[in-house]
Amino acid sequence: MRYVILGSGPAGVVAAETLRKADPSAEITLVCGEAGPPYSRMAIPYLLRGDIEEAGTHLRKDADHYARLQIQLLQARATAVDTNARTVDVGGQSLAYDRLLIATGSRPSRERIPGIDLPGVQACWTLDDARAILAQARPGTRIVQMGAGFVGCIIMEGLLSRGVDLTILVRSGYMVRRMMNPTASGMLRRWCEAKGVKILTHTQPTGITAEGGVLQVALADGRVLPADIYLSAVGVDPNLDFLDGSGIALAQGIVVDSNLQSSVPGVYAAGDVAEATDCLTGKRQLNAIQPNAVEQGRIAALNMAGRPARFKGSFVFNVLTTLGLVSSSFGEWQGVPGGESAEALDEVRYRYLNLQFDGERLAGANTVGFTDHVGALRGLIEGQVRLGVWKQRLMADPTQIMHAYLAAAHSVA
């Protein structure tokens, strides 16, 4: 059996390892779209902060790991897939497969403004991006960052640890608005401002020019901000372009069934690029987080090897550390129609807990400054546990979440 895996992020690497275990004699080719050993993007913030060296970002630390498992690494990018002939165009050659996994992840969304191609305009998504930032970021380096989403927030600590002068532009007015309600978002903003980050809300650039080696970022309100680096962090899009004409059904990402198989038999997808069903809402969606990529890589590989395995559905949860402040969002944190909510807020201590109920179940939550309840929240929400008497107790005091978990989850309520 010939397995080809496109993409050597967490989804691709775990899939290759799972295939090797399930099918010891198979031919496994892992196509790596970037130079160097497979690495984890999640480790980039630690690299920026100087906590680890580049080798610390590698997904597997042993240099012989892939050779030992007889997983062939091919440094190239796929440019087309022919699902009739069962071949992939990769770096000028045609690679035949019996089963194909697409695990090509996502890439930074591109802002459509003049000057976005100038030197000094930068994303923070790949190891190359991190190297470019590290080469330039010194005490006093002026960084104007567009966007304060998950990645925009998670990299701030690394940037500030270099002593840079950081200004963040937030178009919507709310930081991490895709995972936080306005109260939580406002707390994050105050926290960041107290740490010296300048945050300009309801602001977006209209264009960037370069004058004498310095970027000039023109804002919609007429102001112009000088910058040594313009960091564009406005979201991500799945890497799908090379699938044009392949016949594989695409929506926002690659549409997959509960076995993570695409619309074309023998072609599977996993990770940021796959659009699977959400375990709470039943709707299909992208879920661009590493734990999801790892689990999907494993399940897709088992199915590819003929060992039926079901993906139980994506679960939306994000845990974010922004300059030391931990926040999280789970499930339907915006609430559900006809649902109820309860919250506990301590602005001074930066502690906030917002619970959203759907009948007697917990449907979602936002937290700021609560680190010890993450497992309990996840368990109750993902498990769709009936809360019984604990519903009213949590409505009265949301901080009782751990007691509710222990009682309700073990059916002693």
Ligand X SMILES: Cc1cc2nc3c(=O)[nH]c(=O)nc-3n(C[C@H](O)[C@H](O)[C@H](O)COP(=O)(O)OP(=O)(O)OC[C@H]3O[C@@H](n4cnc5c(N)ncnc54)[C@H](O)[C@@H]3O)c2cc1C
In DSSP terms, 87 is beta-bridged to 82, 96
- Cα dist from 151 to 108, 186, 278, whole Å: 10, 18, 22
Q: By CB under 6 A, is residue 272 in contact with ligand X?
A: yes
The dihedral region occupied by 337, where left means phi > 0, alpha psi between -120 and 50, and beta the remainder, is beta
Q: By CB under 6 A, is residue 10 in contact with ligand X?
A: yes
The set of long-range contacts for 343-347, using a CB threshold of 8 Å and a minimum separation of 24, is 343/183, 343/398, 344/397, 344/398, 344/399, 345/183, 347/187
Q: By CB under 6 A, is residue 78 in contact with ligand X?
A: yes
Q: Which stretch binds ligand X (CB under 6 A): 140-148, 163-171, 287-295, 362-370?
A: 287-295
Q: Give the x-and-dash track for 340-359 against ligand X (CB under 6 A).
A: --------------------
Q: By CB under 6 A, is residue 41 in contact with ligand X?
A: yes
Q: By CB under 6 A, is residue 101 in contact with ligand X?
A: no
Which of 1, 22, 26, 42 lies at the binding interface for ligand X (CB under 6 A)? Answer: 42
Q: By CB under 6 A, is residue 124 in contact with ligand X?
A: yes
Nearest-angstrom CA–CA distance, 382 and 56? 32
Q: By CB under 6 A, is residue 302 in contact with ligand X?
A: no
List of residues 6+ apart from 75 with CB closer than 8 A: 32, 34, 35, 91
**Minimum CB–partner distance for residue 412 and ligand X (Å):** 33
- Which CB, 83 or 106, lies closer to ligand X? 106
Q: Which stretch binds ligand X (CB under 6 A): 39-47, 322-330, 367-375, 379-387?
A: 39-47
Nearest-angstrom CA–CA distance, 309 and 259? 6
**Helix (H, G, I), strand (E, B), or coil: what is residue 156?**
helix
Contact 244, 230 (CB under 8 A): no
How many Cβ atoms sit within 10 Å of the Cβ of residue 112?
6
- Which CB, 7 or 398, lies closer to ligand X? 7
In DSSP terms, 238 is beta-bridged to 106
Q: 219: closest CA among 146, 328, 278?
A: 146
Which of 47, 146, 151, 279 lies at the binding interface for ligand X (CB under 6 A)? Answer: 151
Which of 37, 115, 149, 271 lies at the binding interface for ligand X (CB under 6 A)? Answer: 271
Q: By CB under 6 A, is residue 147 in contact with ligand X?
A: no
Q: Which stretch binds ligand X (CB under 6 A): 100-108, 179-187, 322-330, 338-346?
A: 100-108
Which of 4, 5, 30, 44 lies at the binding interface for ligand X (CB under 6 A)? Answer: 44
Which of 16, 127, 144, 155 lies at the binding interface for ligand X (CB under 6 A)? Answer: 155
Contact 98, 1 (CB under 8 A): yes
The radius of gyration of the chain's CA atoms, rounded to the nearest angstrom, is 23
**Helix (H, G, I), strand (E, B), or coil: what is residue 75?**
strand
**Helix (H, G, I), strand (E, B), or coil: what is residue 185?**
helix
Q: By CB under 6 A, is residue 154 in contact with ligand X?
A: yes
- Cα dist from 324 to 187, 308, 394, whole Å: 13, 42, 27
- Cα dist from 98 to 29, 236, 274, whole Å: 12, 30, 20
Which of 31, 179, 376, 387 lies at the binding interface for ligand X (CB under 6 A)? Answer: 31
Q: By CB under 6 A, is residue 12 in contact with ligand X?
A: yes
Contact 18, 297 (CB under 8 A): yes
Which of 125, 191, 352, 390 lies at the binding interface for ligand X (CB under 6 A)? Answer: 125
Q: By CB under 6 A, is residue 290 in contact with ligand X?
A: yes
Which of 29, 181, 203, 239 lies at the binding interface for ligand X (CB under 6 A)? Answer: 239
- Which CB, 71 or 387, lies closer to ligand X? 71
- Which CB, 36 or 140, lies closer to ligand X? 36
Q: By CB under 6 A, is residue 160 in contact with ligand X?
A: no
- Which CB, 33 or 115, lies closer to ligand X? 33
Q: By CB under 6 A, is residue 288 in contact with ligand X?
A: yes
Q: By CB under 6 A, is residue 178 in contact with ligand X?
A: no
Number of residues that bind ligand X (CB under 6 A): 35
- Positions touching ligand X (CB under 6 A) are 6-12, 31-34, 41-42, 44-45, 77-78, 103-106, 124-125, 151, 154-155, 239, 242, 271-272, 288-291, 293
